[in-house]
Structures are given as C-alpha cells and as structure tokens.
Structure 1
Amino acid sequence: MEILVTGNIKWLEEEFFTVLAEQNKVIVCGKDAERIREKHISPYQFSIEQKEFEKLFFTYHFQYVIYFSQCLEKDAFQEIEYLHAIFELCQRRQGTKLVYIRNQEVISASYGETQQIIESACTQMCEQHIRQGSTLVDIRIPFLAAADKPEGLPADIMKALLYDQKISLPFAAEQTVDFLFESDLVALLNAMMEEDETGYLQYELYGGNQMQLGQVIFELEKAMGISDADVTYGTLCMQPQKQTDQFRYHYGWYPKENVKNAFTDWYIKYQSQTQKQSRRKTLRNIKMDKKWKERMLYIVECVLLFALCEFLTYDTRDMQLLDFADFRLFFVTIVGMMYGLRFGVAASVAACVMYFASSGNQTNWQIQFYNIVNWLPVAVYMLVGSIAGYTRDRYQDKLANADKSQQVLETKYIYLNELYTKALENKESYSSQIMNYKNSYGRIYAAVRQLNSVHPSEIFYHAIAVLEDMMDTQSVAIYSLDGGRYARLNACSRDQMNRLTKSLYLDDMPQCASTLETGETWVNREHIEGAPMYAYGIMKNGSLVGIIALQEVAYEQMSMEYMNRFNIISGLISDSLIRATNYQEIAEKDRMLSGTRILRTEAFQKEVEAQRLLKENNRADFVLLRVVMQETDYGKISDALLHVTRKNDILGLGEDGKVYILLSQADRNNLEAIENRMKKNGVEVEIAEKY
C-alpha cells in the first residue's frame, strides 16, 4: 500500500514514519522531510502549492493521504488552500482516501476566533467534498505529547519554567487536558487503513491521559525541580468527553502510553533539544564571526597594499625610468580583481585622494582643479576600479549561480530518478498484473460467465469473442453435427467468414475426426492440410455433436500451456451449449406450436435477433424466408417443410401469422438453388426483407 504523509509534519518523529513504513510504502512531502532517511520511505521537500507535489499523485497510486493540519499550531492561514488542493488531487485520482488530522475543538478555541473561523471553513469544505463522493476520515486529536518540539503545551510551559517567566495559559486550572503519543496515533492509523472503510468517518480521538491543567503544571515543576511558578490561568472551557471503547471494539486499538511516566523524559528531551538549538546558534555566531574576520583581513590587506604603493610612488618620484609606472593604478587593479566592486571603488577613491594630495603640493589647487588633464588619472582610477571589481563580482556570482544550479539539478535528478524508478516498478507491476490476469483461471471464468444463456445462437456469439480474446487468435470457428458426417458452421471469426466452407466433411480429415470422437483434443502438430490447428469436440451422451476449432495459430502458441487453456475455455463453452440444448428440448412443448416444428412468435423473434447479432458482427450469415402457401394448417405446413430444411434451420411463426424459415449460414448467392429445391417439393417461399 502506498501512503502519502504531508502537511504539518514537523511535529512527527522518525519513529512515526518507521512504524508506518513497516508494511507500507510511505512518501513524505513537506518541510523538514529530508531529515527522514529510512527504508521504504521517500522524502520530498515540496510544498503543497508546487507543481511537483501534484506530479506525485500521478507517479504513485496513493491508497491513503494522511494530512496533518496546519491548524495544529497557531496562525495557519494557508490551511484552506492546502486542504482544497489535496481534496482536488484525491478526487482526480479515484480510490485515494484522505485522513485529515487536526486539533480537538477545545484546543482550537484556545487559539482564538480566527483559528475557529478557519476550522469552521475547513469543516464545511469537508462536507462539500463528501457530497461529491470523496472518502474522508476526519480525526480530531488532543495535545501531542511532544515536549522536544518547538511549540506545544508541554514545551511552552517548560520554557517559561526554565527561564523563570510568567506562564499565561488559556484554560482554567480545573480544565481537563489530554495527551496523545505518536506511537499510539500511528498504531491507530495502521488499524484504520487495514479496515479500508469508505464514506465520511468522524472521530474525536482521546489519548487516555486526561488530567487537570493544574496537575500538569505541578508534575512539570516536580520533574524540573522548580516551585512557586507564576501562572495565570484562563477560563474553563468545555470539558472533553470520557474515553469510549469504540476504537477497542472496532479496530482493536487502545492507547498504551502513560503520560504520568513521561514528565521526566519530557524535561530531558527538552533540555537536549535546547542544547541542540544553542549549539546551532553558536555555530551561526561562529560563522558570522568568521565572515567579519575575513572582511577585516581584506581591509588590512588593502591598507598594507595601499601603503606599499604610496611608498613606491613617493620613493620613485625622481626616477625618470619609472615615470611611466603608476603604482596607484596597480593598487586599484589588484584590489578590484581580488576583492570585488565595493573594495575596487574604495581603492579608486583612495587613489584619487592621494593623487590630488600629491599634486597639490606642487601647484595651486585651483590650477590643478580646472586643468582637464589632471582629471584623466582620476577617471582612469574610477573606471579601472569599477570594471575590475565588477568583473570579479560577476565571476563570483557565476560561480555561486553555478553551484546553486548544480544543487537544483542534483535535486531534480534525484527526484526524476526516483520517479523513473517508480515508473519502471509500476510498469513491471502492471505487466505482471496484466499477464497474470490474462492467463488466470479467474478471468477465464469471469469471461465465460456471459455464456450463461438458454439460446445457442447467443452462446455462439459470445463464445467467438471469448475465444478470440483468451486465445489471442482471429481464426475461431464453431460447428454443429446433426448425427451424420457433416459439420455445419454456426459461427466464426470475421477473418474466416469468406475462407471457411459452410459445411465440413469429417471424412476429409479422418485423424482429426477420430481424435475428437474419442473425447480428446486435436492438435495439428504435423500441419495436415485442411485440418484445424486445434479442435475440441462437444460431446453429448457419448456422441460428437459439435466442434470448436482454431484454424490458425502462431508458432509460439503450439505449447502445452496454450492447449490446456484452450481445453478449459472450450470445456466451459461446451457445457453452456449442452445446457442450452437440453433446455430447448425440455421447453420444446412451450416454445413450439402443438404437433409441429414451428416456433411460437416470441421464441422465434429471439432466434432472429440472435442471428441478426451474429450477422452484424460478421460472425455468421443467415437468410429469412417467408412461406407462401394456401394451406393454413400449421401441422401440414410443418410436415411439408420437414423434407426441404436442414436440422439447424429454424421454422417460426411471424407476427403476421405467416410461417418463416431462418436459414443459418446461408446467403443470397445460393438463394435461387434453395428456392428451386423447395419448389420441387411443393413449397413456395419468398425472401423476407423485414421482420
């Protein structure tokens, strides 16, 4: 079973997912999902509004989506959007059931009026989607017994006690509160999913650890060694109901953890979590200090380089060979290329200041300021510093962007690789299911159930379709024998309509005929011309009364498994045909006019409809003739037609009172010969265009 756990999952420990994944494939999606690294668990760091989250529903086939409400904590303004998105995805993937876990009403009321409005809107949304056919399990839970989490009643109280702060609680000291452990919650979820219920189920879950809020404060003070805490209590809200046994009776579940033994463990976990947070804060401070130290080092290096360049400029002022060398320009270029735009501009400004300072000692500053030639070095310093710094920053930005792009690509690669792996698993699973389903006897039985009819013509039609599907061939034919050596074609595949003869003489294929008459299945391993590749004899009272044949099969279908499947399907078809003919014989008095072979109008109409269905699907052909005789005695008409019709031809009475002949597997090409044969025996007929 594939299960998606999403929403406000930061409350949950890894043990919760580990237990859930013991018998299921668990996909975790949400913030902090990457911290979960367990077998059979796939974490994804996606938010519900992202497109990648939607793709998960089309990559996996989730039987259940467990959504932990954002309202488990305060300020859950995105709860309505998230819940609506999950409902829509569950409805699009039919068969996905939603388990919605949120706070009890007494807890939501303590979070303020805004939270209550959000909860009310979510409840209305649930009812609306239930009317549209969704399956929802709405579970309201008490306080989660998670003291090591950043928020929650135990953590808030211990934080205030630890730092000697004033504790302000929304409930009265006499308020009964309840605590639920994650181990108990996951056990209940496993039990619920095993039941696989449908519809709208609402549960008010209790953790079996009800106690007054004042007692909780006392137990925490005792565990922490603190007394006389400054506590301000609120008003008394509605009291939760007592624990019922509905979960024990229905799911065999009851809470096992006891909160009275957990207060000391809570404090130890909280201290451990606080120390971890303190270490993380210290590491952040160290990183900040390291960054400032690096910047100070850059400044010191720039100052030293600036001093060196100024010393060289001053020391070489009288050397004519070095008049072309500008050490300030060298300083600006080095600083810009090494430390970026800000340091490059600062170096340019420093170089300009020193240039004006050194030039001012030699000439009047007014002359220097208004002489345009003196501004060229300043422009060069600023230009070089800016370009060098910008070039360095752009290069660093490219490296940073390349690193980020690499991280994004790695994340996408991991995600796509998991999707690809899952797609391959689905392909193999579906292929296995298709193959197992195609060859399973259960499917064979389900397919042949449609052969449950009392009309042989209907059975012929469905039998051809079943054989074509199950045997993977388009060369099926069904024959019937009337006691002689000729087998009359009743129905066949479309591809065989113009290839098979309407009658089959058994003596033309003696080996096949002798095998079928002994009750065995014929397999044409020697490829005898004119004989089918597979044939099954329909036996009644020890005599061969019909043949089910596969005219052509592929080379790989000449196997024992294929023959066994053919035997099973043909045996079921044979049973259906024998049962139908027995019924026809028993009901002959009710179906036929007394003393004749002429079917009554209703029975004859059903036979015509069955033959018409065969003809429309190119399974068989027929011709309907109307008898034109002055004789009105149906008994004499029946006797006259007895000598000019075949055993598989059907006589029937039409709604107009006329007698009709249904000639199976006949067409208009040989209609003239049929009419001439009947005229010789004193029977005149005409083709019935409509019936």
Structure 2
Amino acid sequence: MKVLITGGYGFIGSHVAERFHKEGYEVYIIDNMSTGKLDHVTFKHKGYQLAVEDSKCEEVFQANQFDTVVHLAAQANVNTSITNPQLDSESNVLGLVNILNLAQKFKVKKFIFASSAAVYGTNDQMPLTEEADCDPISPYGISKWVGESYCLKWQELYGLDTTCFRFSNVYGPRQGSSGEGGVISIFMNRVLSGQTLYVYGDGEQTRDFIYVEDVADAIFRSSYSKLSGVYNLSTNMKCSVNAIIESIGGMRAIESVIHTDMRPGDITHSILNNAKVKHELDWSPMYGIEEGLQRTYGWFEQKQAELESTASTMVESKPSAVRQWLKKYMPYGENLLAFVLTAWLSLSQITNDYSAIDIKLFYITIIGIMYGSRQSILAVALSIGLFVYQKLLDGRELVSLLYDTDVFFQIAIYLFIGLVVGYAIERKNAVIQSAVKTKDELEERYEFLNGMYREVREVKDELQLRILNSGDSFGKIYSITKELESLEPETVFNSTVNVVKSIMSVESVAIYSVNPHGTYMRLIAHSNDYDAQAAKSLRVEEHSSMQWVLQEGKVFVNKELDSSAPLMCAPIIYNGAIKAVITIDGIAFNKFSLYYQNLFKVTSELVSSALTRAFAYIEATESQRYVPGTSILRKEAFASILESKRLARMNHNTPYLVVGQTEGRFEEYADKVAGMLRETDYIGLNEDEKVVILLSNTSEEDASYVLNRFASRGLSLQIVDGVLQHD
C-alpha cells in the first residue's frame, strides 16, 4: 500500500507519515520545505521537494500508484494570509486543486484534506458542530472553507472518496511557532530559554487543544474506512491559556508572565464537538492535556539540549563585512585606477610620439567590456572631464569650448563608444545569464526526471524479483503450464494433474470428464495419493457440489467443509460447454482463501485454453485419425493415446486395460462395441494392426466384470496389456 503525504516534513505531516510507516505503508512525501525539515522523518521513504501547485507533481503521481493521499501542505499562518492573501490562495487553493485533480486522474482510492476550526470564525455557539454556520474572518479560514467545497465537489463530480477534518488547535513535538496551535510551542521555547512569557489578554481565553498523535491516528483510521464528508477533529474539551501556563510551570520554573492587550480579531473561546467522528470512525483522543504537555515538553527539552551542545562546538562562519564591502565597491576602485593610468598616459610626455591615439577610447572600451554599462558610463564621464581639462591646459577658454563642434563631436564619440560597448556587454551578460538559468532549470528537471526514472527502475526490479521468487507468480505459472502444450486431449488431462499440484501446492488432484448430457462424470486422471476408494464414476444429481459447478460454470469452494465434497472444484470449458471438472483436496488452512480461489480459476482457464487447441486439432484431423467408415482409431493416433495412459500409470499410478478378441474378426463388431464404451474408452489398432479396446482407469479388480459384460454380448475378449493399480 502506498500513501502520499503533502507537507509530510512538517509538524503534523511527519507524525502522520510515521503512523502510516508503522502500519506497513510505503510512504511518499511532497513538501516545498518552507516550514518542513528533513530530519523530522528518519525512516525509509521517498521525498520530493516540490510545491503542491507545481506541475511536476503529475510526474510523481504517474510514477507511483497511490492508494491514499493525505493533503496537509498549506500556508498555515493566519497573519501571513492577511498580509499576503495571494500567497495564501496559491498554496491553499491552487495547490489543493492540483493535488485533487491528480488524485482523481490517477485513481486514488482515498483523499484526506486537513481543514481548520478557522472556518467557523467568531461563532459563539459552543461547542461547534459540523452543521454550525461558517463565517471565517481571515483569508486562511476562507481558503480552508473553499478547500472543503472543492473536496466535496470532486466526490460528487468524479467519485473521488474524500474526507475533510477540521482540526482544532493541534500541539505536540516538532511544532513551530506559527500556525493555530503555536502558542504551546512558543511557551515551551521561551520557558526553556529563561525568557518572559507574553499573554494577549487576561489568559482566560480557551481553546480546544488536541495532541498531534491523536490527529495522526484519526487520519490513518479514516484512510481505510468509508468515512466521507466533513468532520471536526478535536477533544471537545476547553483549556485556558492560563491553565497551559500553570501546567508548564509545574515542569519548569517560569521567569515571568506579562499580559498585554488582546490582538484584534482574536477569538475568545473555541471548542469543537467531536461526537460525529467518534461515532462514525470509532475513534477518540487518547491523550489528555496534561499527558500531551508532558510529552511535548520532553521533546522540546531534548531539542534545547541538542541545540546548546551544537552551539558550543560549532563556530559560526559568515562572510566578513570587509569582504562584502570590497565585493560591492571593487569595480569602482578598479575603474578609478584605470582612469588614473589613462590620465597619466594622456598628460605625460610618453604619448607625444603617439598623439594621434586617444587612450581614453581604449579606457572606455576596456571598462565597458569588463564591467558593463554602469562602469562604462562612469568611464565616459571621467574621460570627458579629462578631455576638457586637456583643452584648458592647451589655453582654451571654457566658454569657447561650448561653441566648438569638434569638442562636441569628440564627446559624442566617447558617449557612443561607452553606450554601445556597455549595452553590448550588458546584453551579452543577460543572454549568458538567461542561458545559465535555462541550463540550471533543465539540469534541475533532468535530475528530477532521472531520479523518477531510477525510482521506477528500482520498483520494476523489485517487482521482477518478487515475480521470479514467488511460488505462485504468473512467470512460474507460465513455466509450469508449458506441460499443457500438447495436441492430444488425453495428454493434456494427464499433464493437468502435475500443473495443478505445482501451482496450488496440493497433493490430491482428480479430473472427471462430463458426459454430453451432464448427468454422469467419470474419473480420467488423478494424483498418486488420491483416495482409491473414491468413485470412478459419479451421478451428478447425487453430488450438490458438482451440480453447482455444472450449473454456474464457476469455481466451487467447500466453505462448509463438507466431508463428502472436495475442497475446491473448477470447470474445464470447451466451446461453451463444461468438458471436465478438476477437484483438489488437502489444501493448507492458510491457502483456503479468495486469493487461492482466484489462482485455481486462472489455472483451470489455462487448462481450458490448452484443451481448446487440442480438441480443435482433433476435429481438424478427424478424417486422418480413424479408419474410414469406422470408429476405430488408426495405429498412430491409438499409440499416442496409449502412451499418455502409460505416462499416467508411471506418474500417477492410474490403471488401464487393453483388451482384444481371442478369435474371429473384431472389426465386424466395432460399431456394436462402441455403443458399450464410456467416453474415456477407445477402440484402435495396436502395433500388430489388430483391433483392441483401451479401457481407461480400469484395474485388475474391474477386469472380470468388464470381460463378463462383453461376453454377455457374444464377444470373447482377453487382456492384451494392462497395468494394475498399486495399493
């Protein structure tokens, strides 16, 4: 069984994941890690770091056939939902719709949604039942209310079995400081750190606190139940904030408690009626508030000790402020250094021999290539200033420069070079960054798909090993039923005994042929330890189990353990008619189940398929099997049937007799004899070209009766060949 838990690395999700793991489920988790932590889940599982609204979630569903989906992923902070309602709706509404849609598309059997008491708003009718009016006062409560509507509508439109739980204030180990029940975790952290506790209001406001493991238990129970619809999940008990502080104070001394003004929008009292879920799910909370707080405190205390131990041995390493400052201002410093060098070269006597070369253009180009448009514009401004300064050194007046077109042309060249180079570099960098981003996205997608591929390969390999190692796998069934690949019905019947013994792991197997009228059944093959006293022919009307099989054409299971009937019977069907019946006995108690009933049905269908080929072959070659104008089998056809009887004798101790006439021409009486034979007896030519009769399942004890029966009709016969059944 596979379960997908969205938000499975979070506070509630990790406890739910643990519960399903303990019950033997394969656990899969989708979590964007906004509040979840990997170390919350320590057992073997498969996790995907995705947001629930991400389209990649479809690949997770496609690669795994989930039986149950528990949707806990949500933006759970009420204040965040008020300040950023768009973020709240993306996760809590769009994310839910995405997962709902995938659950419906990939045939999930059960969908469980985590709603909240926040849907009720400021309703004062305590305790609140599921039928109470909903009037949420925050976007978070609205999104949960909308989520319930989506779940109910998906059940109505698509038949997806959905259950919505309105959680009261959940608390327990691993809880963070946000969410509706975070007051307990906040108090625990502050008490363990020796800090002051701040209480909004007088502390007499009450909440319905429920321990997280009780929530996990209810979710697990609902996963295999017929529970659907909306249910409160709570203790139906109120507890004040002051009572919580008093309980915590009994575990550790509290520094101080300061009461402040009530926060606007806070509800004074909240308690949910849980009678409906207790009755329909047969569930009730196991932990009272005192025991729950004790367990929660123990976890927080251990976590605090671990943090203090880690802090004492770990040296915090952050980038130094100097390094950050250098990284930010280094380009400006290098630009100024390059300008100083340019100014020195431009003003020194070194450039007298190269006065036609404007070094400032090189400076602008190099800076633009190195740092882009921002530094290139600064380089242009510095170069213009240097250019004007050079003109002033040459004796020009500043005012006269304003009327000199050559000066403006030179300045225009500086600007053009700076802008073109800077823009080109910026564009190149943007293209590179875009290509790098695309490459990173493709690599991320490749890693994700490659991980999915590896996971599917692992599952495929594991299933392959299970198939190869399973004693009743279809691979082994196919290998065993290769014995049925014969075009002779007698050989198929005899091989069926081995096939049924191997597949069903039983020792007692018998096959009865059915006459055309469905009134008599004759034993044609059986296993070695088959009860020798069992009737070799049966009158169908005297055996209710056989009557049922012939009428219904289905597998019969002796559920009443009637000693006069076999434990299981299965029909062998050819051309829509029941040709024979397989019976088995001696089944181990642990195999007397629906699974083995289906396995027996599959086996009988394989035998029916093999017989269909054999009978079709017999019908197609009938003119070649019989002596023309008679019911006598030719030598080759008779020899094939006789060989199958000999094998049955060798493998299953099944007796037979071959009888022939002592004198006269038997051929003249062949048609008369044929009317005296059973469906499982044959007339044919033996190796000496003499006509003989093959009597199936006939022992030495039966010989005298059979020979006397023929003698009464004027036929003197004797045993030509025969094998006696051993005790």
TM-score range, shorter chain: 0.5 to 0.7
Q: Provide the rounded CA distance (Å) in 2 between the counterparts of 1:398 and 1:125.
A: 43
SS in 2 for 1:545: coil
Structure 1 residues 158, 469: CA separation in 2 closer, same or farther (over 3 Å shift)? closer
Q: Provide the rounded CA distance (Å) in 2 between the counterparts of 1:508 and 1:406.
A: 78
Aligned partner letter, 2:6? T
Query: What per-residue deviation string (whole Å, max 9, x for no partner) do you get for residues 389-442 of structure 1?
Result: 344444544554454334323322221112222333454566636536767947
Which among 551, 554, 564 is matched to residue 449 of structure 1?
Answer: 554
SS in 2 for 1:258: helix
1:137 aligns with 2:163: yes
Shift of 1:63: 0.9
1:385 aligns with 2:418: yes
Aligned partner letter, 2:98? A
SS in 2 for 1:139: strand
SS in 1 for 2:51: coil
Q: Provide the rounded CA distance (Å) in 1 between the counterparts of 2:208 and 2:159.
A: 35
Give the aligned partner of residue 512 of structure 1. Answer: 640
Give the aligned partner of residue 96 of structure 2. Answer: 83
Contact 2:31–2:51 under 8 Å retained in 1: yes
Structure 1 residues 153, 304: CA separation in 2 closer, same or farther (over 3 Å shift)? same
Counterparts in 2 of 1:259-658, with a 5 A limit? 259-260=293-294, 262-263=296-297, 266=300, 286=319, 290-316=323-349, 320-361=352-393, 362-425=395-458, 427-428=460-461, 432=467, 434-435=474-475, 441=503, 449=554, 458-459=576-577, 470=606, 476=612, 491-492=615-616, 498-501=620-623, 504=626, 505-509=632-636, 510-517=638-645, 520=648, 545-546=679-680
Q: Provide the rounded CA distance (Å) in 1 between the counterparts of 2:103 and 2:29.
A: 16
Give the aligned partner of residue 592 of structure 1. Answer: none
Contact 2:231–2:277 under 8 Å retained in 1: no
Q: Provide the rounded CA distance (Å) in 1 between the counterparts of 2:273 and 2:235.
A: 12
Q: Provide the rounded CA distance (Å) in 2 between the counterparts of 1:141 and 1:350.
A: 67
Aligned partner letter, 1:25? E
Give the aligned partner of residue 30 of structure 1. Answer: 31
Query: What per-residue deviation string (whole Å, max 9, x for no partner) do you get for residues 455-508 of structure 1?
Result: 986325899x98997269778456xxxxxxxxxxxx527xx7645548644352
Give the aligned partner of residue 232 of structure 1. Answer: 262
Aligned partner letter, 1:122? G
Shift of 1:288: 7.9
Contact 1:87–1:129 under 8 Å retained in 2: yes
SS in 1 for 2:445: helix
1:205 aligns with 2:226: no
Shift of 1:283: 7.8
Aligned partner letter, 2:150? M
Structural RMSD (CA) = 5.2
**Which sections of structure 1, spanning at least 5 residues, go unmatched?**
479-490, 524-541, 549-573, 576-691
Contact 2:8–2:29 under 8 Å retained in 1: no
Counterparts in 2 of 1:13-28, with a 5 A limit? 17=17, 20-21=20-21, 23-28=24-29
Shift of 1:326: 2.8
Structure 1 residues 236, 372: CA separation in 2 closer, same or farther (over 3 Å shift)? closer
Contact 1:144–1:179 under 8 Å retained in 2: yes
Structure 1 residues 436, 412: CA separation in 2 closer, same or farther (over 3 Å shift)? farther
Q: Which moved more, 1:300-309 or 1:429-438?
A: 429-438
Shift of 1:342: 0.3
Which among 220, 240, 243 is matched to residue 215 of structure 1?
Answer: 243
Contact 1:352–1:381 under 8 Å retained in 2: yes
Query: What per-residue deviation string (whole Å, max 9, x for no partner) do you get for residues 90-117 of structure 1?
Result: 2222243112222236886596265554
Query: Scaled by the length of structure 1, what TM-score is found?
Result: 0.59
SS in 1 for 2:410: helix
Q: Provide the rounded CA distance (Å) in 1 between the counterparts of 2:329 and 2:609.
A: 84
Q: Which moved more, 1:237-246 or 1:503-512?
A: 237-246
Aligned partner letter, 1:135? D
Shift of 1:65: 0.7
Structure 1 residues 204, 77: CA separation in 2 closer, same or farther (over 3 Å shift)? same
Shift of 1:59: 1.4
Contact 1:333–1:388 under 8 Å retained in 2: yes
Q: Provide the rounded CA distance (Å) in 1 between the counterparts of 2:382 and 2:435.
A: 34
Structure 1 residues 143, 342: CA separation in 2 closer, same or farther (over 3 Å shift)? same
Query: What per-residue deviation string (whole Å, max 9, x for no partner) do you get for residues 99-153 of structure 1?
Result: 2222236886596265554444333333333344322233333323254344433
Structure 1 residues 238, 154: CA separation in 2 closer, same or farther (over 3 Å shift)? closer
Contact 2:365–2:418 under 8 Å retained in 1: yes
1:128 aligns with 2:153: yes
Q: Provide the rounded CA distance (Å) in 1 between the counterparts of 2:61 and 2:447.
A: 18
Shift of 1:383: 3.0
Q: Provide the rounded CA distance (Å) in 2 between the counterparts of 1:39 and 1:268.
A: 20
Give the aligned partner of residue 211 of structure 2. Answer: 180
Q: Provide the rounded CA distance (Å) in 1 between the counterparts of 2:55 and 2:355.
A: 66
How many percent identity over aligned positions? 14
SS in 1 for 2:47: strand
Query: Scaled by the length of structure 2, what TM-score is found?
Result: 0.57
1:2 aligns with 2:2: yes
Shift of 1:213: 2.0
Which among 51, 55, 59 is matched to residue 55 of structure 2?
Answer: 51
Structure 1 residues 160, 381: CA separation in 2 closer, same or farther (over 3 Å shift)? farther
Query: What per-residue deviation string (whole Å, max 9, x for no partner) do you get for residues 631-651 of structure 1?
Result: xxxxxxxxxxxxxxxxxxxxx
Contact 2:206–2:238 under 8 Å retained in 1: no
Q: Which moved more, 1:198-207 or 1:306-315?
A: 198-207
Give the aligned partner of residue 525 of structure 2. Answer: none
Structure 1 residues 29, 235: CA separation in 2 closer, same or farther (over 3 Å shift)? closer
Aligned partner letter, 2:52? I
Query: What per-residue deviation string (whole Å, max 9, x for no partner) do you get for residues 302-340 of structure 1?
Result: 2232223212322228x5313134332232233222222
SS in 2 for 1:50: coil
Aligned partner letter, 1:168? Y
Query: What per-residue deviation string (whole Å, max 9, x for no partner) do you get for residues 214-239 of structure 1?
Result: 22245567655123332538654353
Aligned partner letter, 2:211? L
**Which sections of structure 2, spanning at least 5 residues, go unmatched?**
82-87, 124-135, 468-472, 481-501, 510-548, 556-568, 582-600, 627-631, 652-675, 683-695, 698-727
Q: Provide the rounded CA distance (Å) in 1 between the counterparts of 2:643 and 2:151.
A: 67
Q: Provide the rounded CA distance (Å) in 2 between the counterparts of 1:150 and 1:497.
A: 80
Q: Provide the rounded CA distance (Å) in 1 between the counterparts of 2:367 and 2:55.
A: 46
SS in 1 for 2:89: coil
Query: What per-residue deviation string (whole Å, max 9, x for no partner) do you get for residues 362-394 of structure 1?
Result: 223454334333334323322333344344444
SS in 2 for 1:520: helix
Structure 1 residues 20, 388: CA separation in 2 closer, same or farther (over 3 Å shift)? farther
Shift of 1:3: 1.7
Contact 1:31–1:45 under 8 Å retained in 2: yes
Aligned partner letter, 2:116? N
Contact 2:63–2:456 under 8 Å retained in 1: yes
Structure 1 residues 206, 12: CA separation in 2 closer, same or farther (over 3 Å shift)? closer
Structure 1 residues 305, 15: CA separation in 2 closer, same or farther (over 3 Å shift)? farther
1:100 aligns with 2:135: no
Structure 1 residues 405, 135: CA separation in 2 closer, same or farther (over 3 Å shift)? same
Contact 2:115–2:148 under 8 Å retained in 1: no
Contact 2:187–2:197 under 8 Å retained in 1: no
SS in 1 for 2:107: coil
Contact 2:3–2:70 under 8 Å retained in 1: yes
